[in-house]
Amino acid sequence: MIFPHITAIYAAILALIYLAITGWVVAGRGKFKVLHGDGGNDNLNRRIRAHANFNEYVPLILVLAALLEARGAGTVTMNALLLPLVVARVIHPFGMMARENSTQQFALRAPGAFITWVVLAVVAVMLLLGG
């Protein structure tokens, strides 16, 4: 089996993004004086959901990507899959914080989610097809 070097690099980058989002949630807890849950604060709830959304998708995608790379997927393929994932995971929280039905929400949240879903689907299908 080939060690998934490219996936490992992206995993490290995504881990740093995750830490930044974690810090953002912790800062929100301090700002809004909420130790558990969201305290009914919509702003904190959005931060928590952005954090949770990252945690719901990124680990699975990284496992699948590592399997794909270990199976022999090349540098171009891996970068074509994982670079958009990084961009999606950076823009998604900004969209989560946007006003409801605002341009920022539609320009950042929806594409962040959609790109994440596409990467998940493509990696899964490639694995099933022997990619």
**Host domain of residue 70:** 5-128
The per-residue pLDDT for range 24-82, each reduced to its tens digit, is 999 999 999 999 999 999 999 999 999 999 999 999 999 999 999 999 999 999 999 99
For the chain, the domain total comes to 1
Q: Give dist(CA 38, CA 42) in Å, integer.
A: 8
Which CATH number do you get for residue 78?
A: 1.20.120.550
**Alpha carbon 93 to chain centroid distance?**
9
Q: Report residue 87: phi and psi, to 5°.
A: -60, -45
Q: How confident is the model at residue 131, as a pLDDT?
A: 60
